[in-house]
Amino acid sequence: MLTPLKVDPTTFDEGSVGYFRYGMVGDKVLLTNDVGEHLFLTPEEFRRFIAGQVQADEPLYANLRKRYFLKRDLDVEQFATKLRRKKAFLQNGPHLHAIVTTLRCNHACRYCHASRTDMTATDTDMSLETARKVVDFAFRSPTPVLGFEFQGGEPTANFPVIRFVVDYALEKNRYENKELLLSTVTNLTLMDEEKMHFLLDRGVSICTSLDGPADLHDKNRGWMEKQSSHATVTGWMDKFNAEWVRRGFDPDLFHVDALMTTTRASLSRGRDIVDEYVNRGIRSLHLRPLNPFGFAVNTWQQVGYTMDEFLAFYRSTLDYIIELNRKGVFVQERLASVFLTKMFTPDDPNYSDCRSPCGSGSAQLAYNFDGSIYTDDEGRMAAHMGNDFFKLGHVDTSSFDEILRHPTVKALKVASIQDALPACHSCVHKPTCGVQPLHNYMFDGDIFGQRPRSRKCQEFYGVQQYLYQLLSNDTDGSLERIFRRWTIQRSRPGTTPYAPASEVTA
């Protein structure tokens, strides 16, 4: 990861050169800074830049100046305003609250990260009493945007808790006046018409798993009913999407979202996976690598791969996505859109796994079925693997302040401030990247980890390096126009009704 280009300190003009990071992308030098600006220079332009030899009447000078790479004529107040906006996510408390309604699941996915139990294990169901306490606890967060996300297991296996949390949260929000976001992550195989209409009536977003075409999806996601999971999932996706259209909602905004997980069987199927999403009207997919957590630890030899293999898959699949965009078919890759938003806009998308400091415990919290509180859902998974390091407390006994000031939360913040981390502080991608200490802990037993060995670091570095490589060769600006479109996020208009008070019962 170290750049072969060296700066001769004897030629460095400290009086004219502003703070920057640099690295090689192909035969060009990439400059970046902490407000998200970037610029490509030739090696000769870079030499003249650091020596303070670029003259004020040159176009290069204007380019460097407007991107805050020069001290001369630097508008410090404007620079500070941009930096403040980039870090605006630090001003609010946890906005995402993951609720594990149950550990029961009717699937036996080969890579499962969760800690599922058999469908008979009803002792892993959250009670309505605990659910009420979780909602009350989450509403104590000072954030103006509050999101509840139902997870599992298969969360719909304990649908009464979903029903209660949704109605109770809507009723409570009559007086709290937050922007309330409700969503569930479900395999859809326990769905029925009554559940579907309840979720649609109350504006609950739906996200499912779709690993690709039927043969690939069913290979990865075994269903204990011995039926095709793909057929059932896509059938319910079509029903939800058709009902949104029937109710008059924009299908570009209102549809079932999906996530895929990359296994060894996926590596040669990038085009097939993209085509499956596009053909189903899903215009955004996240090429997620597999992490050796949960059951994936035991099946790694069958489903796992090296990060180099994943990045080769990612690059070729991204190339195909770009090819489709050039043909007029809009589809985007989500991780790329996160990085591109940081590169091209004044905002940070607040993606918890890719920010500094990280969002574990400060942007999100996870509540296990028994009311235990964790830094995030990955922290809960770590606990089920035998390590309670990421457990912060319990809804019965902990105050909100105690959770936010917990020593583990503080440690995770320190371990994810890139300016103080070796390899991160000087990395050219530091301004658009982020650290996830939990991944370091799972791999190295150390929340600080070693960046060159970290799979998450290798993933983020490799993706960003490829995005900049593509941009460095974008001579006509056509690719940048495609990428900038990926940074435009249209939010769903508020359509969530309030539940009558009579329906909100414990």
Which pLDDT tens digit goes with each residue over 378-419?
898 888 878 899 999 999 999 999 999 999 999 999 999 999
Q: How far apart are CA 421 and CA 452, in angstroms?
A: 12
Please report where in the chains the tokens 């996601």 appear, as a residue.
221
Topology (CATH) of 93-384: TIM Barrel (3.20.20)
Task: Give the pLDDT band (50/70/90) at residue 37.
Answer: very high
35: tokens are 């407000």
| Burial class of residue 197 (count of CB atoms within 10 Å of its CB; 0-12, 13-18, 19+) | exposed
Which pLDDT tens digit goes with each residue over 270-328?
999 999 999 999 999 999 998 766 555 666 677 889 999 999 999 999 999 999 999 99
Whole-number pLDDT of residue 506: 32
DSSP element (H, E) containing 135: helix 128-138
- Across the chain, mean pLDDT equals 90
Contact (CB, 8 A) for 432 and 344: no
Alpha helices in 178-295 (DSSP H): 193-201, 214-220, 229-246, 270-279
Whole-number pLDDT of residue 496: 41
**pLDDT over 50 (residue 505):** no
- Percent of the chain, pLDDT > 70? 93
**pLDDT over 80 (residue 499):** no
Which pLDDT tens digit goes with each residue over 248-275?
999 888 999 999 999 999 999 999 999 9
Task: Give the pLDDT band (50/70/90) at residue 59.
Answer: very high
- The domain locations on the chain are 9-86, 93-384
Which pLDDT tens digit goes with each residue over 210-233?
999 999 998 888 776 667 889 999
AA identity, residue 109: C
Please report where in the chains the tokens 């791969």 appear, as a residue.
305
pTM of the model: 0.92
